[in-house]
Structures are given as C-alpha cells and as structure tokens.
Amino acid sequence: MTKQRTINQSIGILLRSYTRAIQKQQNLSGSLFQKHTKSKALIDEIEIEPSYWDSAFGTIINIPEGKNYLETCIEYVHQNPVYSGLVNNADEWEFSSFRDYIGLRKGKLIDYDLLRKENIIFHAQEKSHTLTQSEGMTTNTSIISIGSNIDAEINISKMLEILGNEVEIIKVSSMLKTKPIGIENQPDFTNGVVKISTSRSKKDLKSLLKAIENQLGRNRKGPKFGPRTMDLDIVVWNGKIVDEDYYTRDFLRQSIDEIGGY
C-alpha cells in the first residue's frame, strides 16, 4: 500500500531537499531559513498589509482596498506569470486557473462554492459554473493626462515604462509643447495623454500615479503651478470626464481627440 503524505509533509521534504542542495553548493551548515514555515487557512480573517515591489525606477507601493486574504492570494498567484515576464496578461498563461476564474475555460481547479461563500464570485452560473468576465474581474478604461517641464522627454519615457508594467497601455497621444499656466517664468511644458486598461479601482490607480510621480522626483513642496518632473491625472474614467481641466485646457481635448476621444 502506497503511503500518502499530507501537503505539509511534502512541503517539508521540498524545503529540506532545497536546503541540503544549497548547503552543498555553498559549503554551508546550519539553518538556511530564519523562520519555520507554517500553514494558514486562506479564509482566516487577516488584515492585508501594504505591499511593496521594485520596478526599474524604484519601489512602488500598492495598498489593496477591500480584499480579504483569499482574494489577495488568488490575485497574487494569477499575476505571478505577468510579474515574471512570461506573459503580458494573466489569461495568456494556460497553466493557471485564471482562465477558468474569468469564464474563458471550464476547468476543475476552482472551488466555485468556496468563492461564492466568500463573496468573491457573486453570480456564477449554478449549472455550468461559467463565470463571465464582468462577474470575475472588472476591467476599467481610463485616460490619463501627462505633463512635464523638467527633462520631459526622459521622464515621460521612464513613466510610460513604469506604467506599462502595472497596467495595459492602449494608446499614447503625440506630445504637445504648451506655455506654463500660473507661473510664466519656467520652461514650457510637454503635455499629452495615455489611454490605459486596468483591473485596479480608481482609487488604486490614483495611488499608483502618485507613486510614479514620486519615483520620478516630483517636488510637492514647491508652488502649485511650478516646474515638475511629472504630473499625472485621471481625466476620463470608463467614458466619463472626471477632471474639469478637460473643459479649460485646449491641448488636453486635442490630445484626447487624437486617440479617438473618450
């Protein structure tokens, strides 16, 4: 009769084998890991701490809003292939359950009853267990204004690289030279817009944009209309104008019209 191991025993064997291999390779002895591993139920009530990760231009902070431990773990696992650079979008990685999660495939990896019980899936179809895109993961479309008058060409290029690692960039407008507003004794601004698609909430996206501004050296102690390395604002959110600057800045409307309107 074949002896069956628990998942904890299997993980223990894996860690011990890994430790012995590293010890042999590096000629080390003693503990490799500072803390012992332990299991924790995914449905435990746990407050999610802010997460930090390094991009090519510094550390970015993400504070998940309204997500429990199970939902955060599911998102973490599904997004790993994207963060590792294996695919551009999570649904392109065929070896995870993400395609089942958003209803693109009928697999057997997902416990739909558990997800409904934990209010992660609210309206999954009872018979087919098919989850539609709108029920599983909301995709938001936004148009973001871009402004810089300090090393604009370099900073805008860096910004688009950082932003592209966190959201899907759909289209970028041409960049226009504009006269400064409020304080005239400063270099002209370079302005444009970028249209993006993201599963982030509006609040999360604002936090990301602020973090990118900070990484590019935005000085928030200077005058409101003073020089800046980067200025990013959400102008359109899911087809709705959410920034009054749209109605007063001709260059902003011109840039949005160039990429097909809102």
**Which helix (H) or strand (E) covers residue 72, if one does?**
helix 69-83
Strand partners, 144: 194, 234
CB within 8 A of 189, min separation 6: which ones? 147, 148, 149, 152, 177, 178, 179, 180
| Cα(169)–Cα(21) distance, integer angstroms | 42
Q: Looking at the annotation, which residues are catalytic?
A: 218, 228, 231, 233
C-alpha 103: how far from chain center: 21
Among left, alpha and beta (phi > 0; psi -120 to 50; other), residue 241 is beta
* CA nearest to 169, candidates 204, 205, 136: 205
Cβ contacts of residue 242 below 8 Å, gap of 6+?
Answer: 202, 234, 235, 236
Phi first, then psi: what are they for 197, rounded to 5°?
Answer: -125, 135
Q: How many CB atoms lie within 10 A of CB 216?
A: 22
Write out the two tokens for 207: 């936090």
**Residue 252: closest CA among 190, 209, 193, 177:** 193
